[in-house]
Amino acid sequence: MSKNLETSSGSGENSAILKRVLTENWRRYLGSFAIGALLLALVSGSTAFTAWIVRDIVNDVFVGQDLQTAYLIAAAIFAVFTIRGLALYGSIYVLGRVANNIVARYQRRTYAHLLKLGVEYFKSNRSAYLVGQINQNILGMRNLLNNFVTVFARDLLTLIALVGVMVSLDPVMSIATLLVLPLLAFIMLRLVKRMRKVARQEVDLNSKVSSSIVETAQGIEIVKSFTMEEILSDKLYNLTRNAEGRSNRIVKISAKTKPPTEILAGFAIASVVALGGYRVVELGHDPGGLFAFLTAAMLAYEPIRKLSSFRVSFERSLVNARMLYEILDTPIKQGDLPAAKDLDLKAGTIELKDITFSYYPGEKVLDRISIKAPAGKTTALVGPSGGGKSTIISLIQRFFDTDKGKILIDGQDISKITAASLRSNIGYVSQQPMLFEGSIMDNIRFGRPDADDQHVIKAAKLAQAHQFIVEQPDGYDTQVGELGGNLSGGQRQRLSIARAILRDAPILLLDEATSALDNESEKLVQQALEYLMKSRTTIVVAHRLSTIRNADRIFVIDRGRVVEEGTHAALMRKRTGVYAKLHGIGFETIPANGKVNTRKKVSNG
């Protein structure tokens, strides 16, 4: 899609993009734009007046020696420039507020749309790159609208007013002077075509630079540990060099508007001086009229210069708008069906019936898998790494839609119920707990936004997190670092569990919640999990048998299929089975009665 847009973006598509931008924003800002345009019109009028009054200054004051007229003209000029200054202030303020609101609106709109997109979109688009691209394109959208108003309300009106002055003073010389405009427009059109592809490439490369910097900051410990500084520095150097090259091409294209503008303007002004001088000296024409015409022509140069360069920068902003709409037009794959109903949860039984799923065509992750998790019981999923266990957790939350088969909760197909009602009934604890910007209190309260402080503290105590929280510099008001980087893995996990406890959902999904923890942290987290799992329909993906030793049912998943199922004791009796082999190579040494004697911790994936 992007490639096509690079090569095929023509005037028709530009018109469609511009129409969409104006349709979405014009009515909303009509009042502000009207005020801004009126104020800019006053600026244009004052500029035209400056040219017009030159004739009277020359003829009446300098030639006619009329001092009274000089005083009147001086007062008029002072009044006009005062009005001009106030009008400039008002236009900058009004249009500046509009520009800021445009940025905020599109940020909110883009963020809201991103939240509706499925997980697969974020897995295929790097977050830091996405943020960099969005920021650049929203600023481009702002520039498009504000420059559109400014150029047409100020520069175009100024040019029209000055041309009006020129025509009224001398129609013949006006035609001769303005003959350069069609040639200038032709040159600008050729430069515009070069801008389209380069502008898209610039956004892409600058986004990659931003992405690289953010990822380095987030993974700084790995960078230091593996002495990756030089490698990443070289990578960023190449990215910035390429980005600089694209930016230089844009600068070059923009700069190319200057020579033809200057040369043609110089030719036009020189023609006025030569032809006008001849007519005054040889033919006795009005010298005041020549000076006024020359002033108008010279003043007209500035709006012509801005209008010519605007065409190139406007094309660049259209590229930004087009790229932003590509994101906003991304279809929502996991959206609710029109007839979707809220989940009517009674017991909480979860059933996967003949599920087949692929992340990519032809690469099955799950192959006709069927699992039933009874209400109020704990169901464990174990097996070799890459077998599809975590995928099952994602499918139950409907982060993805199945290729075939159904997932039922209390007999209700989750593809036909609203995502919000489904997920509001699920508590989720992942292997890598995610903390967001804000305080510890804020992060726990995400589990139930309407919970008061006492309920948050109670949840933290049940999650074995209260003690380390009160030891923090500001207790529950302590700000978590980026991704919770100022807390240990065990502390982050206990906050994640506190969030799930506060949610108090009847269904609980645990995705390897203790696999990355040390012994002490695991013990505390396990105590919190045992409380959380009571009387809930729980599905747990396990790397350690301590997590599932009391599971009511265990399903062994291998290569996307259920290869064994039963209790721990029953599966251990199958000495040649997959579960027994996993146990033998280091799950944990747990006898068939399920009681732990020793603890050998080795991940099974």
Q: Are 99 and 142 in contact (CB under 8 A)?
A: yes
Q: List CB contacts of 338: < 8 A, sequence separation 6 or more.
A: none
3-state secondary structure of 402: coil
Tell me which residue has tokens 């014009």.
Answer: 26
pLDDT in tens, 94-153: 888 888 888 888 888 888 888 888 777 887 777 777 887 788 888 888 888 777 777 777
CA distances from 294 to 276, 300, 601 (A): 9, 10, 89
Q: Which residue type sits at 147? A: N
Confidence at residue 404, expressed as pLDDT on a 0 to 100 scale: 92
Distance CA 568, CA 548 (A): 9
Q: Which two structure tokens, joined as six digits, stand for 402? A: 């199945």
Q: Which two structure tokens, joined as six digits, stand for 287? A: 């010298």
3-state secondary structure of 380: strand
**Three-point CA angle 473, 476, 479, nearest 5°:** 65
482 alpha-carbon distance from chain centroid: 18
Tell me which residue has tokens 């909480």.
Answer: 348
Q: Which two structure tokens, joined as six digits, stand for 9? A: 């973006």
Distance CA 590, CA 587 (A): 9
Q: Which residue type sits at 462? A: L
Buried b (16+ CB within 10 A) or exposed e, 435-450: beeebbbbbbbbbbee
3-state secondary structure of 603: coil
Q: Could you tell me what percentage of the chain is helix, strand and coil, using 3-state DSSP and rounding each to the nearest 5?
A: 65, 10, 25
User: Checking DSSP bridges between strand 404-409 and strand 537-541, what pairing results, if any?
Assistant: unpaired
Beta bridge partners of 558: 561
On the 0-12 / 13-18 / 19+ scale of CB atoms within 10 A, 543 is buried
On the 0-12 / 13-18 / 19+ scale of CB atoms within 10 A, 108 is exposed
3-state secondary structure of 507: strand
Distance CA 371, CA 357 (A): 14
Architecture category of domain 2-328 in CATH: Up-down Bundle (1.20)
Q: Are 522 and 572 in contact (CB under 8 A)?
A: no
Domain ranges of the chain: 2-328
Q: List CB contacts of 106: < 8 A, sequence separation 6 or more.
A: 138, 141, 142, 324
Distance CA 552, CA 556 (A): 13
Q: List CB contacts of 360: < 8 A, sequence separation 6 or more.
A: none
Averaged pLDDT, groups of 10, the chain, 605 residues long: 42 76 84 87 85 80 80 87 90 86 88 83 77 82 78 79 83 76 70 66 75 71 69 81 79 74 76 76 76 81 77 78 86 82 90 91 88 91 85 90 92 91 88 83 90 92 88 89 76 87 89 70 74 84 71 88 87 78 58 38 35
H or E segment and range at residue 429: strand 426-429
CA distances from 65 to 51, 68, 69 (A): 20, 9, 9
Q: Which residue type sits at 312? A: V
Q: Which two structure tokens, joined as six digits, stand for 434? A: 């995610």
Q: Are 540 and 548 in contact (CB under 8 A)?
A: yes
CA Rg, the chain, in Å?
A: 35
3-state secondary structure of 558: strand
CB atoms within 10 A of CB 492: 22
Confidence at residue 584, expressed as pLDDT on a 0 to 100 scale: 66
